[in-house]
Amino acid sequence: MTESKTKYDRQLRIWGEQGQAALEKASICLLNCGPTGSEALKNLVLGGVGSITVIDGSKVEEGDLGNNFMVDDSSVGQSKAKSVCAFLQELNDAVKAKFVEESPEALIETNPSFFSQFTLVIATQLVEASVLKLDRICRQTNVMLICARSYGLTGMVRISVKEHTVIESKPDHFLDDLRLNNPWPELKRFAESIDLNSTDPVVHKHTPYVVILVKMAEEWANSHGGRLPSTREEKREFKDLLKGKMIGLDEDNYKEAIEASFKVSASRGISSGLCQILNDSSAEVDSVSSDFWVMVAALKEFIANEGGGEAPLEGSIPDMTSLTEYYINLQKIYQAKAEADFLAVEQRVRNILKRIGREPYSIPKTTIKSFCRNARKLTVCRYRPIEEELNSPVLSELQKYLTDEDYSAAVGFYILLRAVDRFAANYNRFPGLHVGEMDEDISRLKTIAVGLLGDLGCNGSALTEDLINEMCRFGVAELHAVAAFIGGVASQEVIKLITKQFVPMSGTFIFNGIDHKSQLLAL
């Protein structure tokens, strides 16, 4: 890992050694290595993914030189899979690279078991019929699938996996776990040991805002029947109470307390999102349950018992104006509480594992500790099978998108990307390939799109003529700029799925290069 630390220093700061180790163990299969697929795989190779297998049965043509940086003049007439594989290997020789010179469609049809060896499959530029077959194959073998496609100035990315659990979701904005409105005994005692009315100006200016808010929240609750400030007026009064404690204008600790005073009014207990996870049927564990759900079962027991309705404490505190002695003591109090909570959860995990007939120490201590630290931020993502979405989309959402000016272009491209596949199935070519037949192709594509909308229950709905015209004008071109963007989005989602960090996108991602907009459709 020492070499990796130097090589991947910057990304290690984002997803850590555990995330990098997961990447280095991953085996990725790419179907079709045109510009979209090559760009996606390039990002993963540079990131240090373990191994790649490129599947493509075509030869490099002169037209490929204009949109695929992974081939050059010497590649013309050669196997595209072999050429791209060689270029990618040059970017990072630590990555094991293989290629299979075969049509992805043929492989899906004749050798479905081939895909079971991979961690994740990236399917690019596949038509709908092949995507549906591949999705069924991947779901049966629990292989993660990402479909990506660029088509002229539009493109899409769709994740398909039965269930994806995230411990380190790393949300951009999340309230500190300080328990200002529900302090445990040790924090209470520490706060009580400090006098807010001290006449020593150094002490008064360097009392941590955590202590100020714990004491002032208790004072407020005592004079308000045990309630904490909840209305806008009460919150304003609470801030005035804090201001009244200041004896100088330069007291940064009190300014910090005033800025953080809203945290006192935060709801106690657990969020509705975490409650939903705890009550999920998967939390009723057995011998085949995943480690995640075993830990969720332990967490549920902890919250109902030792936690007193709260999740395990995270144990970290933000920087704040404070005497060094006060800050260190406060840090120790939070860390000790977090450690005690972790030990309680760990014991429950061991007991559950034993109860369901598994090795009690099969889940590492470090995993349980990370789970406890992130317990409030757990996320479970479940994705509908692609066939289910395409045959039975959420009709109310589809109709809403069609009539919403902000989403009409995105859903229009979503429908048209399906319509061009139906066009190709009917006419053995994509629309717009022959300039002389452009007008006829536009009319045909419009008829197919209207029919598709009718099949989905949106009779009477129509797409704009401009969108249909543009889709024909694209002529199935894979533009490098669009392909690079779609490939970049796809590789970003691959990293989320493999590292199990950050929350992967839900729904179908549509890029609209005409209006420079990216949107997610939840269908």
Q: What is the pLDDT of residue 1?
A: 54
Question: Is 232 buried (19+), middle (13-18) or exposed (0-12) by CB count in 10 A?
Answer: exposed
DSSP state of 146: E
Q: Could you read off the pLDDT of 381-406 as tens digits, one per residue? A: 999 999 999 999 999 999 999 999 99
Of residues 197 and 159, more confidence is placed in 159
Question: Can you list the positions of beta strands (E) in 103-262?
Answer: 120-124, 144-151, 154-160, 163-166
Kind of pairing, strands 154-160 and 508-512? antiparallel
Q: What is the pLDDT of residue 2?
A: 60
* Among the listed residues 371, 357, 360, 365, the one whose alpha carbon sits nearest the alpha carbon of residue 292: 371
Judge contact between 121 and 27, C-beta under 8 A. no
SS3 46: helix
CA distance 496 to 161: 13
pLDDT band at 293 (very low <50, low <70, confident <90, very high): very high
Q: What is the pLDDT of residue 250?
A: 87
Rounded average pLDDT over 406-434: 96
Please, what is the average pLDDT of the chain? Answer: 95
CA distance 47 to 40: 11
CA distance 383 to 266: 32
In DSSP terms, 159 is beta-bridged to: 146
In DSSP terms, 518 is beta-bridged to: 511
Counting residues of the chain whose pLDDT is more than 70, the rounded percentage is 99
Q: What is the pLDDT of residue 460?
A: 81
Q: What predicted TM-score, i.e. pTM, was given to this entire model?
A: 0.92
* Among the listed residues 325, 329, 334, the one whose alpha carbon sits nearest the alpha carbon of residue 184: 334
Q: Which domains does the chain have, with CATH numbers?
A: 2-162+479-521 (3.40.50.720), 185-265 (no CATH), 272-382 (no CATH), 390-474 (no CATH)
- Widest pairwise Cα distance in the chain: 90
Q: What is the pLDDT of residue 446?
A: 96
